[in-house]
Amino acid sequence: MKVAQYRHEWKHEINLADRLALRARLGAVCQTDSYAVEGVYQIRSLYFDTPLDKALREKVDGINRREKFRIRYYNLDPSLIHLEKKSKWDGLGTKSVAALSAAEAQAIVDGELSWMPGSGRPLVQELYSKMKAQGLRPRTIVDYTREPFIYCPGNVRVTLDYNIRTGLGRTDFLNPGCPTIPAGENVTILEVKWDAFLPDIIRDAVQLKGRRATAFSKYAQCRIYD
């Protein structure tokens, strides 16, 4: 299991003109992600929640210490699937990651969990324990397009996320034909993540007049219809 250190994070809700301006600025100073195809990739995630929507409510209520689980893959290619746990504490974030096969991901979706305690992966075992103790279950699909930018000093990662779509409670996320619909207004989310320091060149590049940090959640946005 890969565990990242706690990192700083900014989120800003921006418009198309902002996105075009940032794309030009960031493209001049940053590297692109090796997984990106022509500068972008498609992300599909399946988020988990309890019967009482613990993850959703903690996000909406701004609970200081919270976590959420999801399964994710890229460009509709199931050869690389990640189980992820995102944790927040005092405004800092971290992410734990474990690999899943397509068969394992489908087994979790289908509620076939008996293999998980013996998987040898602590994050898979943790998800199993919380599925049993808290009733955690797959809740909905979240699709979106991401433009990633990397700046090595400070371990900075800047992303532009848009075309956010919801699966309306569907959980068959390995099905490439699973229908999704736009999740509300067509906004772009600027995310800036860094370790100990944010270099001035990036701080200046992402400055937008009249934009303030927001607590936007793609998962919460995709739950507006259910």
The burial of 206, by beta-carbon neighbours within 10 Å (0-12 exposed, 13-18 middle, 19 or more buried), is given as buried
User: Tell me, what's the pLDDT at 212?
Assistant: 67
pLDDT in tens, 127-154: 999 999 999 999 999 999 999 999 999 9
pLDDT in tens, 17-49: 999 999 999 999 999 887 788 899 999 999 999
What is the fold of 2-221? mRNA Triphosphatase Cet1; Chain A (3.20.100)
Evaluated on CA atoms 94, 98, 102, 108, the torsion sign reads: negative
Report, as an integer, the average pLDDT of 85-98: 90
pTM for the full predicted model: 0.92
Give the residue with greater pLDDT, 90 vs 11: 11
Q: Which two tokens stand for residue 45?
A: 């995630």
Is a pLDDT exceeding 60 seen at residue 202? yes
